[in-house]
Each structure stands twice: as structure tokens, then as C-alpha cells.
Copies of this chain bind each other. A is one copy, B any other.
Amino acid sequence: MSVSGVFVWFLVVFSSLRREKMKTGRWMSLVLPLVAVLLAGAIPALAQTTIPSEVSEETLECIECHSTESMGIYQQWGTSKHFRANVGCYECHKADKDEADAFDHEGFLISIIVSPKDCSACHAKEVKEFDESHHAKAGAILGSLDNFLADIVEGDWNFYGGSALTVSGCKQCHGGVVEVNKDGSLKATGWPNTGMGRINPDGSVGACTACHQRHAFSAAQARRPENCGKCHLGPDHPQKEIYEESKHGIAFAAHEDDLNMENAKWVLGEDYTAAPTCATCHMSAVRTTDGELVPVTHDVGLRISWNNRPPASIRPEVSDKKLGLEKMAKVSWQTRRANMVKVCTVCHTAPYVSNFYEQYDGVVNLYNSKFAEPGIAIMKLLYENNLLTPTKFDELVEWTWWEIWHHEGRRARHGASMMAPDYTHWHGMYEVGKHWYTKFIPELREIVAHNANSSDPKKAEAAKALQAAIDELLARPEHSWFTGNMPAAEAEKRKKAQDEFKKRY
């Protein structure tokens, strides 16, 4: 235990013995300055201006109870850098009268939520970077199609007028509005919640605790792959699983003790090279192969050159613009890719990295051109011609198309982005291909059949247009195999390649 730790412990024990006789706060105000002077020589490193030189009286009073009540909080804080910096309970939880979630607790005005605005008192750079990033817009999903699923398809209106599923599902990753009762307590609609795009009672956006779990705020924890796996896993974006399959994940499992993860200065190329975690590549500091020191950033999009979220992959500056992220809308994908290449080349040669990106782009382009763009066009045709109702998810083909792009197509693209072959193929494009030919196309044909002889001439006309679109699509070389019309030249070429290959074995 550090000097200041001993000091805190001493005060806590001592003051509890006396608390019946004298109001601690007052007593503290007499003794503390004296003790502080006495200890000043012993702990010069703490005698700084921007960091409290000692634990505050208010926090000491919090500790009096919380060293036993919900003591996990106190103990975890005791392992944190906050403890050593004398940043305690009160420093983070104190509130002003005009804050909606302020309430009186044992004579102190505090709030439960510690928002990015609160954190920015010390961590202004980090909060600014976060505010400028894609992560800050995580909550925008809640007005979108995904939310229709949780709110309406899967939900009802019986949880404070909304869907309990949205609260325990979507909002736990995307964030939601933290609603405050009149007495300052928080509604279960928005708390507990550590969603990335949480809208806090003070108007700020985000939840630092999404990654920096309270109350240890361990650097190593935030840098580990499981941390990102709180949200980045599962059928629609299995980045955690993909990482674990990749050579990067295998190296991490074997060498995690060599990664120096508790180090404050955690610079790839200086402090470690044994393996990268999610944070390494997307956020953390790097000493580049040219000697440049790239600092850590909390803007997670600065090194990403494809946005693989939409039905067809787009460039991130395009989606950032749509989201109103002004700064990031001006950062081209080429710049972002150059940023990532600086990370890659700490451990890989430039030709390796360049070839990798060719492979990755190849998969994205294949997916985009063969499946995504035709699929988008056909779905548009269906809606515009009233071959589907405007209501989403009430017709089978809507589910089919949704899973092709939102689940399977993403898995393929994410898999390729991190070199996890099983996710690229079996969990990814294999499923895209399977459902394209065994569900999407047959369901489209069903719609044609159903409307071809409709008494509504517009629908009959639309069915014809759909049939023409299907025919045009399946006549393209890449789909021609399905109707048995693969170009003879291609078939011949393929057979020859196979024969040659087999000769090798």
C-alpha cells in the first residue's frame, strides 16, 4: 500500500472510532491540514497542482461507510490510478443543484451517473476525441430499423410505455436516454446502462465505463480483447470471435503476459510487440517504423478504411458525414488506411501489408458487386412497386435480405479484415451464398408468381419488372452457374485449373 493509502486507511479507522462524538467533517477540517503538512515531505510526488494533494474530506466521509457498505466499490477504487491521484468518490460523484439527477446523500449532493462531462474535468482530450468519433453516435441506432425489431417485433409497450427488450438488449450497447425521477433517482429504462452512446442527464453523450469498468478503471482491462467483446460479438458483428481465430488472437493467448498491459505508456514498438489487441490496432500509441510516435486516440475510426456496417460497404468518411461527425467527415479513407498501415508495419513488411489490403478489398468488392448492390436494387424495386408493404419484417424476404447483409455479409467482411478464414467463409460468404440462392431468389420468384396475374394491373406490371430484374441478375457471369449457363470458356478454364491442381498431389 502506498503512503497515501496508509494515510487514508489511518484516517478512516480513526475517524470511525470518533464519529459518534464529533461530526467527522468538522474534525477533519481541523486535523487534515496539519497532517498534510507533516506528510508533505514524505510524498512530494503527490504535491502537484492539478491533482489533489490529498484525499478530500468529502471522500473520506464516503469511505467511512463504503469501506463496508458496497465495499467492492471501495476496494476496486483502491486498486485504481484514481486512488493514487487522490481522486475519490466525491470528486467524481459530486453534483450541482441544477443537475437533474442530483440528490442528497448523507448531507452531500451527488449523482449516480458519472458522465463524460464529469470525466472531462481531468480527461478533456479523451472526451473530445470520443465526441468526434463514430462511437459517440452509437445511440443513433435507436431511431432506426434495428430498433423497430426490439421495440415492435419483439417488444410490447408494457415497460414504462416501451419495450423491456430495448432496455436490456439494444440500449446496453448503443446507450439510451438516462431518465431521472423527480427525487433524483434513475428509472430502470435507462439505468443500469453502460451503452456507448448513452445520453446522460447532463446532456453529455457516452459512458466512459462502457470500456473503463468501474471502479478499478484498469488500463489492462480496457486494452484486452474481451473488453470490446461486450458489444463487438455475436451473429451481426463477431469481431471478438474473429480476433480470437486470427493469428493476432492466437499470439495474444500465448503471450499475454509479455504485453506489459498495465504500463501507463503502452506504445507498440516500444513496450511490446508480442501480440496486438483490438486497442493496439484501433486506438493505442505506436512508435512507427519511421520513428514517429503516434499517440493513443479515443477516436476509434481514425484507422478504419471501410465501413462494413451498411448493406454494401462504404467509405467511413461518407457515413461519418451522414452522422454529422464534421471533423471525421473530412478524414479520407486513404488517410485512415495510412494510419493503420503505420501500425501494421511495426511487425509486418510493407509488401505484406499491401497484399493483405488487396485481399481484404477483394472480398469487400466481391461481396458488394455480386450480392449487396443487386440485393439493394431489388429490395428498392419491391418497395417502390408495392410488391411489399411499407411495414418492415412482416414479409419473409425482408428477413432473408436483412440477415444476408446485416449478419452474414458483415461476418464475411469483418472476417477478411482480420484474416480469420472461418468467419470469412463458413460463417460469412458461405451463408450469404446459401441464402441468396436457396432463399432470396426463390422468394423473389414466389413474389413474381403471386403477383403476375394480379387483378391490380400495377402489380402485374411490377411482377414483370421483378422477373426481368431476376433474369438480368442471373444472366451475369458470376451468377450464371445457378441456371446452368456458366460460360463454356470459364468452365473449361476452371476444369483445367482443377486438373492441374490435382496433379500436384
Using a CB–CB distance below 8 Å, which chain A residues touch chain B?
A: 68-73, 75-76, 79, 112, 137, 139-140, 142-143, 147, 149-159, 161, 163-165, 167-173, 177, 185-188, 191-192, 194, 199, 213, 216, 218, 220-221, 224, 226-227, 229-231, 233-236, 244-247, 249-251, 253-255, 258, 268-269, 273-274, 289, 291, 323-324, 345-349, 351-352, 355-356, 358-360, 362-363, 365-366, 369-370, 389, 391, 393-394, 396, 399, 412, 415-416, 419, 421-430, 432-434, 437-438, 477-478, 481-484, 486, 490, 493-494, 498-499, 501-502, 504-505
Given A157-B490, A229-B244, CB of A168 within 8 Å of CB of B291: no
B224 pairs with A253, CB closer than 8 A: yes
Assembly CA distance A274 to B424 (angstroms): 35
The majority secondary structure among interface residues of chain A is: helix
Give 21 pairs: A residue, B residue, CB < 8 Å, sorted on A: A69-B289, A70-B347, A70-B348, A71-B346, A72-B346, A112-B349, A112-B352, A139-B505, A143-B499, A143-B501, A150-B430, A154-B430, A164-B359, A165-B412, A167-B362, A168-B363, A168-B416, A192-B419, A226-B249, A234-B427, A393-B437
Taking A156-B477, A168-B359 as known contacts, 13 extra A-B pairs with beta carbons closer than 8 A to each other, sorted by chain A number, are A143-B499, A143-B502, A150-B430, A152-B481, A154-B430, A156-B478, A165-B424, A168-B360, A199-B504, A226-B244, A234-B422, A236-B426, A394-B437
Do residues A137 and B505 form an inter-chain contact, with CB atoms below 8 A?
A: yes
Closest 9 CB pairs of A and B: A72-B347, A164-B362, A169-B425, A221-B254, A172-B421, A188-B358, A156-B478, A72-B273, A234-B422
Query: In the complex, are the beta carbons of A422 and B233 less than 8 A apart?
Result: yes
B158 engages A365 (CB within 8 Å): yes
Q: Which residues of B contact A393 (CB under 8 A)?
A: 437
Chain B contacts for A433, CB-based, 8 A: 149, 153-154
Distance to closest chain B CB from A4 (angstroms): 20
Q: Tell me which of B153, B199, B351, B362 contacts A112 (CB under 8 A).
A: B351
Task: Verify B186–A351 contact, CB threshold 8 A.
Answer: yes
In the complex, what residues of B have CB within 8 A of residue A253's CB? 224, 226
Residues of B within 8 A of A233 (CB): 245, 422
* Bound CA–CA A294/B416 (angstroms): 40
The complex places the Cα of A366 from the Cα of B71 at a distance, in Å, of 34
Q: A17 to B76, alpha carbons, bound, how many Å? A: 49
The reply to whether A394 and B153 contact each other, CB–CB distance below 8 Å, is no
**B contact residues around A269 at 8 Å (CB):** 71-72
A362 engages B168 (CB within 8 Å): yes
